[in-house]
Each structure stands twice: as structure tokens, then as C-alpha cells.
Structure 1
Amino acid sequence: MSYYSHPAAANYNTTPMHAQRQRGYRICDQCGTPETPSVKFRLCGGCMTTQYCSQDCQKIHWPSHKTICQHTAAQVSKAGSVAPTAGYADEHLAKNLRKFASAHTTLLGWAGFQALQLKRVPANVRQNALLVELSYHDHMESHRRFSISSTHIVPRTYVRDALVIQDIQRREERCRTNGGIGTLVVILQCGGVSQVMPVEVDPPAKITWDVREDWPSVLNHFVESGRTDFKPISTTARGVVYG
């Protein structure tokens, strides 16, 4: 078992004072502006996955986003109609899965980065994806209605929806144009419902996250405790940096 001089997160062993939305992985799907505490993003109400820095960007992007948005919204509606018969009490399972992904954006992106060993082998981003299987249970807070059942490294071909694949490729082209290594794919799955979470990864020179082999236990720790304030550790020339 590997020994680490620091925990995986600055606040790993502390209790948060209040709920805090994660930041650092979202960029506007229209103009590419990164989300910061002063620039709060809005999710598309149709697909609940695409994000924008402003209403103007959302309007400009709509003609190119319309097809994937309507497709995703239809999938959400279809999943909601079959979820109760599949043994899940909440008919809004698909929507809750998307809320879970939104609440744990940084944590899931970090786990995928570690699972695919992107710091050591950046090319893995083009071949594999992280599959996170979840179990469902009732809870007042939507992001706490899921627990980690298992995790697997799967080929990117696991994603078979043509429109979703096109959306991933679009993000990948944009990421590489900006000097990034590509789009990390994290797949959340609960029963027959799934959520594909694409994460555009920075250029190698900007990747400072420490390599961690204990990522499965860290992922489980923050999900089970309902923590949405994960702040990963980076080791830089300036020392250890959190977040």
C-alpha cells in the first residue's frame, strides 16, 4: 500500500462549515470562460449538463446545442418513466444522477484523472474511461441519494450513443485547440440509467495534481459523507497547493 505524506485533500479530515459548490472544471460551452466564484454558471434546463457563463452565451449556443439537448432531455424523460419499475423509488432518477454529477464535478474529474493515470500516460485519455457504478437510496438531498458500488476502467467505446460521442468529440477538438490533452470521460451508472460526464483536461505543463493510487477510497469517502467541497492537492515549485 502506498504511503502519502499528505491526505488527498486539504479538508479530508474536517467537517465543512456549510455546503460549497465545487469549481475549477467548468467552462462555458459557448465562449470557454472558466467558472470562478465571481462568474457563476447556469445549467441548460433541458439537458441539465451543458453550462454557460451567461444567458447571452446560452442563446448564441442554442442552434448548435439544440439537437443534443433535445436528445438528452428525451433520454431523461424516458429513464424517469421506467425507473420505478426497475426497483427505484424516485421517478426522477436520471435528473438526480445529473445533479450528483454536478455536485461532485471536481471529485469525479480528479478520480478519473487518477484512475486513467493521465499524469504518467496522457494518451490514456483517448483510449479509456472511468465507469462508476452507483447504488440508489432515499435521501432529502439529491446528491446524497447515491453510493459508490464499484469502479472500472473501460474502453471509450463503452459509450455508444452517437450524439453523445459527437458531443465528446466536439469538446475534445476544442480542448486540443487550446493546448489540452483531450477530454476525460467519466460514466456514472445506476441500474439502467447512465450519465456521461466529459471533462476537458489541461495541457500537461499545467497538470500539477499529485498522483494518488488511493483514489477509490477517497472518492467513496467524499460521496458517503455528502461532501461537495473536495480540494485536491497539487505539488508545485511553490510547494503544496490545495484546490
Structure 2
Amino acid sequence: MSYYNQPAAANYNSAPMHAQRQRGYRICDQCGTPETPSVKFRLCGGCMTTQYCSQDCQKVHWPSHKAICQHTNLAKTLRKFASTHTTLLGWAGFQALQLKRVPANVRSSALLVELSYHDHPESHRRFSIAGTHIVPQTYIRDPLVTADIQRREQRCRQTGGIGTLVVILQCGGVSQVMPVEVDPPAKITWDAREDWPAVLNHFVESGRTDFKPISTTARG
């Protein structure tokens, strides 16, 4: 063990004081100017991560920043879309994989939903359905995502569920994977529906976020 003559903190032995909020050292991503009390930085409104000392620097930097900005913003918007439409997307995946009839499909297949992006003030209305496909779960190449799905799968099956339903949202080269742990068949009240693509399209296109599946059991 090493010993030092002075403690690592300059105020180690002084009385505690209410700490003032500190900001990290920031520089303009275009010209490298450091932020000062008199030069307040602005964040890019799209990605909310790139920073500039002035509007002029933001304009100059835009041609080189555009691609990463759109990618980052799209990924963020896609996550919001998945969160807003969780019930709808989970139901569509359940119907697409025919889990009412073949529960084992949950372990081998996934629903891929291709989306088209449109500008709209509300984030959940910036997409429309371009297509839907049933794909093998090996379509997912990210090992961290695969490991998370396997963890959820194990947890779900230990509690009596049939497994983890996987819905993949894809738009412009950006993907969002939505895992949904599915209850055991005895608790599933949804009937099998063949019209799920039309229902999915209707609620997404109209911006509806109040989807409620029809229950066909007495508990419904």
C-alpha cells in the first residue's frame, strides 16, 4: 500500500460546502472555440448532442454533420414510436407468428416491420407501414440484443410463459428490436386474427395510440 503526504482532494480536510453545479468543458464541433460565460453554446436540434458556438458554425458544419444527425435522430424517434405503440406492435407480432395456433414459433421467428419516415410534429406519427415480413430470429446480428432476448426468454419460460416475441422495426438502415414476453396460453385472451396487417396500418397511419385488442373469452 502507498502513502502520500497530501490527500488527493484539495478540500479533503475542510468543512463540507454546498457544491455548485458544474458544466463539463465543451468546444464548438465546427471551429473548436471553448465555451465561456459570454459564449453560450447551442445544441443541434436534431441529434441534441453536437454543439456549436454560433448559428454560423452550425450552418457551416451541417453538410458533414447531416448524415450522422439524421441517423441519431431517426434512432431516437424509432424508440419513441416503439414505446408509444407497444400494445399494438405486440399484438401484431402475436398474430403474425400465429402464436395462438403454434406457440413454438415464438422461439424461431420474428415480425419485421418496415417503416417509411415523414416529417410530423408528433414523433409517433412520423412513420408509415411500408411492409411486414416474417423473418428468422437469426436476422438479428447484434450479440448484445440476442443475449437480452435469450435472458428474457429464459425468465419468461421459468414463470410459465411461452417465450419472448420479437418485433423488429426498421427504417432507413436503423433498427429497433422490441422483445415482448408472452404469457402462457391459458392467460392469452386474444383470438387469432388474419386482418392484423390492416389493423396495424390503420392505427399507425391515423396516429391512434389507444389500440385495445378484442378479447374472446369470458374474462375479457
Whether TM exceeds 0.5 here: the answer is yes
1:209 aligns to 2:166 (yes or no): no
TM-superposed CA distance for 1:191, in Å, is 1.1
Structure 1 residue 185 displacement after superposition: 0.2
Query: What is residue 175 of structure 1 aligned with on the other side?
Result: 156
Displacement after TM superposition at 1:85 (Å): 3.0
Q: Which has the larger radius of gyration?
A: 2
Give the TM-score normalised by structure 1.
Answer: 0.62
Which runs of no fewer than 5 residues in structure 1 stay unpaired? 1-76
CA deviation vs aligned residue, 1:108-130 (integer Å, no higher than 9, x gap): 00000000000000000011000
- Percent identity, please: 82
Q: Deviations over 1:194-214 (max 9, x none)?
A: 000000000011111011100
Check if 1:235 corresponds to 2:216. Answer: yes
Contact 1:184/1:200, CA 8 A, preserved across alignment: yes
- Is residue 111 of structure 2 the alignment partner of residue 111 of structure 1? no
1:132 to 99, 113, 126: 113
User: What does residue range 65-214 of structure 1 map to in structure 2 within 5 Å?
Assistant: 84-85=66-67, 91-214=72-195
| Post-superposition CA distance 1:119-175 (Å, at most 9, x none) | 000000011000000000100000111100000000010011001000000111110
Question: What is the one-letter code of the residue matched to 1:160?
Answer: R
1:17 corresponding residue in structure 2: none
Alignment of 1:31-70 (within 5 A): none
1:237: Cα distance to partner?
Answer: 3.0
The number of aligned residues is 158
Q: Which residue of 1 aligns with 2:36?
A: none
RMSD, matched Cα: 1.9
Residues 137 and 90 (structure 1 numbering): CA distance in 2 closer, same or farther, change over 3 Å? farther
Q: Deviations along 1:14-63, whole A, 9 cap, x unmatched?
A: xxxxxxxxxxxxxxxxxxxxxxxxxxxxxxxxxxxxxxxxxxxxxxxxxx
Higher relative contact order (CA closer than 8 Å, sequence separation 6+): 1
4+ residue runs over 4 A deviation: 88-91
SS in structure 2 opposite 1:186?
Answer: strand
CA contact (8 A) 1:83 1:90 kept: no
Unaligned runs of 5+ in 2: 1-48, 50-63
Q: Tell me the TM-score normalized by structure 2.
A: 0.68
Q: 1:105 to 1:216 in 2, by over 3 A?
A: same
